[in-house]
Amino acid sequence: MTRLALAVCCYAVIFAASLCCALLLRFDFVFTEYVTSAFQDSVLIVVLLKIAVVLFSQDWRRRMRYSTIYDLAWSAGICVVCGILISALQLAHETMPQIPRSVIAMDTLISAGAIAAARILAQALRILGNKKHHHNASRTLIYAQGSEAAALTTSIQTSSSKLRVVGIVSPRNQIPHSVIAGVPVYDASQGLECIIRKTRAEVLLMPSRLSGREVREVSEVCLKQGVNAHLVPSVDEIPSGRFELKMREVTIDDLLRREPNQLDMAGIRTFLRDRVVMVTGASGSIGSEVCRQLLNFGPRKIILLDQSEFGIFQMEQEFLALQKNPARILPHLEFIVEDITDQEAMTRIFMQHRPAVVFHAAAYKHVPLMESNPQAAVRNNVFGTQVLVDVAHRFSVERFVMISTDKAVRPTNVMGATKLIAEQYLHSVATHSKTRFITVRFGNVLNSAGSVVPTFRRQIEEGGPITVTDPEMSRYFMTIPEAVQLVLQSGAVGEGGDVLILDMGEPVRIVDLAKDLIRLSGQQYPNDIDIVFTGLRPGEKLYEELFYETEQNAVRIHEKIFRAPRESETISRTMKEELRKLSEHLNSSREELREVLWQVTSRIVQHSSAQPLEIAEPRRKAA
């Protein structure tokens, strides 16, 4: 028997029984001749009419075992429509069997209740049948609040034979001793360790929207108690109990991330839509993500510029693959291999494409490597930026956003010093240019090329040890997509000459990051993978800073963006002279160039910080 035929039979039985019950209820359950006659005369027409409405509305396609409140409401609505149609037909056609209006009303209510009861019974039988397989299921705690806890619990109870929910841990339980879906709710203030022991939990599930700090704290407790911690999709991503619940391991991004950014999408779209946008360093970690996110804001053309031929080739292949999707409309794309220090090439490119917005992400960033190659760092980070700034000013680019680093604050290494000088040159030109030159300063980004996380992962794959320079070394971290979102937002809200500083949250100790990665790789520290401390490398600091003393009163212009107070124009007026001195020594020895670089940097820092340079200088030498 097909599903449709079975459904029609079930509906027919329900509708016939409902009419009979309504007649009996109306006449005090006495089988009078009128009751019998009325039922025999009307049952066929009523049942056929209701089944016709059910077939037309396709209510029979709504699976009984997977019913939701929406299915119950839909079925109830169909019963009401049927009642209205029966009443209308009685008024329109005298040949229709005359049923008392009170019987029609009661029949409508009884039909709706019977269908709802059938759906609830089918759902209950499925859940009870699923529980028969729970004897080997893992005892599971849900670490969530309110509706999320209810959704996860219900999803497991109705869909999973591998998990059995034994408790819900509520981070902010407002109602003590409450129960959700038959599962007790525990207040997290009792202590997660105590709750785990009490429930004998083996698995803990938590929604992916929790903050990084909360994920870290819960994961650490679970590790000590021998409980497997997993993240599950947010409620919006979970189909309503129709598939087995999917979960994934906690990642390093989960441990370090903060709350999602609240972006002014309209503001970003306004300054990017139908514009020609250039991205330098387009194949790098930040530049490539800028290009990807630009696609969401409707620019007319994106110019991807990088000196790496292979990098630009990879970006070209990635974007060509996107163009194969007919549902996605991409802007015109230009892939250009050029060096930003080549002024003639940059002039030609700006003249040909006339970019309205420039995101300058091209830079040499590896601290120890740049200590050994100061000429390359100065040439690319300082004079490459100078070329771009001068050309952008000459062609009246609307906005120019330079990506800087926290290492530019009281720099103790060549890379940081070059970025500080680039910041200052940008500011010096902004004082008299129509172009809005904006600097965006932030810390480390996770998983960028050559950064600490890929290095640690490689060392773990090789069996260890992980090398950390100092047990007290800490850094600010942000995921690449998060950083780029705020870079785009900064471009929208920034004014000419602004130094915008991203809120990076709390700094993270590198040794803690290493331990987290060891644990997330399924290993144990120090039994499986050890950590070796190698000492500070040339140019490194134990900690990074985002603000100078004069910037401590920075104004928050966005949830996660600060605007630093404007610098004194004294140093801005002398930047041309400072760059001339650097240029004269560009081909000198490393030591001589470093000395000139520190002289220039010292003068800038003295104007940017209330702290005497002598305090910062020995720290640089000691490193």
Q: How many helices (H) and strands (E) does the chain have?
A: 23, 22
220 closest CA partner among 198, 199, 196: 196
Is the backbone of residue 349 left (phi > 0), alpha (psi -120 to 50) or beta?
Answer: alpha
Per-residue tokens: 181: 């879906």
pLDDT of 613 reads 36
Q: Are residues 423 and 285 located together in one domain of the fold?
A: yes
Residue 523 belongs to some domain of the structure: no
Q: What are phi and psi of 209, to 5 degrees?
A: -85, 0
Residue 102 belongs to some domain of the structure: yes
Q: Are residues 229 and 286 located together in one domain of the fold?
A: no
Spatial contact of 282 and 304, defined as CB atoms under 8 Å apart:
yes
pLDDT of 243 reads 40
Q: Are residues 293 and 345 located together in one domain of the fold?
A: yes
Q: Give me the helix-helix angle, 285-294 and 309-323, nearest 10°.
A: 20
Q: Are residues 371 and 316 located together in one domain of the fold?
A: yes
CB contact set of 527 (below 8 Å; sequence gap of 6+)? none
CB atoms within 10 A of CB 548: 21
Q: Are residues 243 and 392 located together in one domain of the fold?
A: no
Residue 434 belongs to some domain of the structure: yes
Q: Are residues 592 and 580 located together in one domain of the fold?
A: yes
Q: Are residues 344 and 435 located together in one domain of the fold?
A: yes
Residue 457 belongs to some domain of the structure: no
Q: Are residues 242 and 278 located together in one domain of the fold?
A: no
pLDDT of 614 reads 37
Q: Are residues 102 and 216 located together in one domain of the fold?
A: no
Q: Are residues 423 and 484 located together in one domain of the fold?
A: yes
CB contact set of 567 (below 8 Å; sequence gap of 6+)? 424, 427, 499, 550, 607, 608
pLDDT of 572 reads 64
Which of 95, 129, 163 is a domain's end point? 129
Mean pLDDT of successive 10-residue stretches along the chain, which has 623 residues: 76 85 81 78 83 82 72 84 84 76 86 84 71 72 85 79 87 74 85 91 85 81 86 57 50 62 78 94 93 92 96 94 82 95 96 96 91 94 96 96 90 92 92 93 74 82 87 83 88 89 82 84 80 82 67 74 71 80 89 91 73 35 31
The SS3 assignment for 127 reads: helix
Residue 531 belongs to some domain of the structure: no
Which of 221, 250, 279 is a domain's end point? 250
Report strand pairing: 357-360 vs 444-446. Answer: unpaired
Residue 170 belongs to some domain of the structure: yes
pLDDT of 306 reads 96
Residue 520 belongs to some domain of the structure: no
CB contact set of 612 (below 8 Å; sequence gap of 6+)? none
489 closest CA partner among 211, 269, 253, 257: 269
DSSP string, 561-573: EEEPPPPPHHHHH
Q: Are residues 549 and 592 located together in one domain of the fold?
A: yes
> Total structural domains in the chain?
3
Domain containing residue 153: 133-250
600 closest CA partner among 615, 618, 621, 586: 586
CATH of the domain at 274: 3.40.50.720
Residue 536 belongs to some domain of the structure: no
Q: Are residues 346 and 484 located together in one domain of the fold?
A: yes
Q: Give me the helix-helix angle, 414-430 and 384-394, nearest 10°.
A: 20
600 closest CA partner among 423, 444, 442: 423
Measured distance CA(26)–CA(22) in Å, rounded: 6
Which of 250, 278, 299 is a domain's end point? 250
CA 435 to chain centre: 32
Whole-model pTM above 0.85? Answer: no
